[in-house]
Amino acid sequence: MYTSKARITAVGSYVPEQRLTNNQIEELVETNDEWIVQRTGIKERRIAGEHEYTSDISIKAVENLAERFGKSLEDVDMVIVCTMTPDMKTPSVAALVQAKLGIPNTGTIDLNAACAGFAYGLHVANGLITAGLNQKILVIGAETFSKIIDYSDRSTCILFGDGGGAVLVEHDEEKPSFIASHMGTNGEQAHNLYCSNLATRMFGEELAVNGFVAQNGREVYKWAVNTVPKGVKALMEKAEIGAADVDWFIPHSANLRIIESICSRSKLPLERTVYSLEYFGNTSAATIPLSLDKGMCEGKIKPDDKLLLYGFGGGLTHAGLVLNWSI
């Protein structure tokens, strides 16, 4: 465990209006609603508009946060956007968020740890505030995955959707949120989940250079169900808690079958797990903040609950945190 000086004080979210249902996907690839639900737990996902990008989703999530919790953003001194679908290579999504929201004096960075991104973003924000380098940080997880999906590829198009969530992290030595964190990477397996850009080869192997997400679902599944439970165990040991002490488990909403396996191996009951995939799909870095907001809106997550967050995905990268919830 470590001594934190940071507290999460507000949360917000946004998803695009357009829905892509399983029945609609049946018109694109050879599949059906029953097959998708049985294997993934996903019924529909949200799709960004033609001219709606990650910065737009990020801004709306923050506006939702500010309106609901009455938070001023003028004194935010760092904006961290966790995403692997930025509007462009530069400027960063965070810089676009700063401009649109009119935050006068703030640093801005994008963080790409794929589906583990939001957990990494929280870890960075806690470190900056605890070190005394910042006082008030926006951490945003947002994606427009629909723009990098090949809708003729059944292995990916049934899974991914668009959306975003945001939290405000502020300096607070009296009631900090952060108890412990854990992270790791298995980069030697990175070829099992990637989206091409400049390189045409990885570890000497040719890549599919088309700008779309490519994944070996079977290998990612095997990696996740073996790696994440070990990470959860290490995280709980650092936090000096057991599974019975966790009020709510909030994993990355990749696939319900993966979540069920992780819960079983980690002795974390599925009924005490919050996920956002049923109606939003896999939104990568956005799944955990969307789940957080969903849990609060449904009256599940309450002040003083102990939460265990765990993200995992491209990299292959994973990260988790134990939090004392205080909103």
Q: Could you give the residue numbers annotated as active site? A: 115, 252, 282
Q: What is the rounded distance in angstroms from the CA atom of residue 312 to the CA atom of residue 319?
A: 7
Q: What is the rounded distance in angstroms from the CA atom of residue 319 to the CA atom of residue 96?
A: 26
β-pairing verdict for 317-324 and 178-185: antiparallel
Whether 277 contacts 42, CB under 8 Å:
yes
Q: What residues have CB less than 8 Å from 109, skipping those under 6 apart?
A: 78, 79, 80, 81, 92, 94
Q: What is the rounded distance in angstroms from the CA atom of residue 288 to the CA atom of residue 280?
A: 12
Whether 165 contacts 289, CB under 8 Å:
yes
Whether 306 contacts 241, CB under 8 Å:
yes
Helix ranges, the chain (H)? 22-25, 33-40, 54-69, 93-101, 117-130, 154-157, 217-239, 256-266, 277-280, 287-297
Q: Cβ atoms within 10 A of the Cβ of 142, count?
A: 36
Q: Tokens 């850009």 sit at which residue? A: 197
Whether 86 contacts 110, CB under 8 Å:
yes
Q: Cβ atoms within 10 A of the Cβ of 311, count?
A: 33
Residue (of 162, 168, 166) closest to 13 by Cα position: 166
User: Dihedral through CA 25, CA 27, CA 28, CA 29, nearest 10?
Assistant: 80
Does 316 sit behind a cis peptide bond, omega within 30 degrees of 0 on the bond before it? yes
Burial track 190-220 (b if 16+ CB lie within 10 A, e otherwise): bbbbbbbeeeeeeeeeeeeeeebbbbebeeb
